[in-house]
Amino acid sequence: MNSKDYSPTNGAEFVSFKQFTAEAVIVPLISHGRKADVLFRGQSIGFVDKLGEDGSRQAHRRAVNNALYRNEGDDLPHWLHQPLPSMTALSAYPEMERLFPRAYARVMKPTQGVLEL
């Protein structure tokens, strides 16, 4: 889950992984199905299965993934749309080009038209 307020000063999907790890807080959970809750800028962005850098990577990747997903297709309800992730955030996950080619191109190749895909 990403930030409620989409702006370059919020959301994990707008910052590099390095910046994310500097600001994120991983809170271990007890008697829960997941290992930890991840807080970013004071807000929970979801649960993860590992602690430390692996948990941070899971949370950051999910935020970037969700932002791409919500911009890939034309058939999503309007209320599900959100801003694309930043180029800085997306550059950590080149494998996402295969999963979300249209949204990925809009971020990483902004001069390439969508019709070329």
- Is residue 42 assigned to a domain? yes
pTM: 0.84
Q: What is the pLDDT of residues 103-113, one digit of tens each?
A: 999 999 877 55
- Is residue 53 assigned to a domain? yes
Quote the domain boundaries for residue 82: 12-116
- Is-contact 14 86, C-beta < 8 A? yes
- Is residue 7 assigned to a domain? no
Looking at the 3D structure of the chain, how many domains does it have? Answer: 1
- Is residue 2 assigned to a domain? no
- Any idea which of 10-14, 19-23, 58-62, 107-111 has the lowest mean pLDDT? 107-111
Q: What is the pLDDT of residue 7?
A: 52
CA distance 16 to 60: 9
- Is residue 82 assigned to a domain? yes
The stretches of the chain forming alpha helices (DSSP H) are 17-23, 52-72, 87-90, 96-99, 101-108
- List the Cα angle 98/10/77 in 5-degree steps: 55
**Computed from CA positions of residues 21, 24, 29, 34, in that sequence, does the dihedral angle turn out positive or negative?**
negative
Location of structure tokens 């500097």: 22
Instruction: Count Cβ atoms below 10 Å from residue 106 Cβ, excluding itself.
Output: 18
- Is residue 19 assigned to a domain? yes
- Is residue 4 assigned to a domain? no
Q: What is the pLDDT of residue 10?
A: 75
**Computed from CA positions of residues 114, 78, 5, 32, in that sequence, does the dihedral angle turn out positive or negative?**
negative
- Is residue 29 assigned to a domain? yes
Q: What is the pLDDT of residue 107?
A: 95
CA distances from 31 to 34, 45, 47 (A): 9, 19, 13
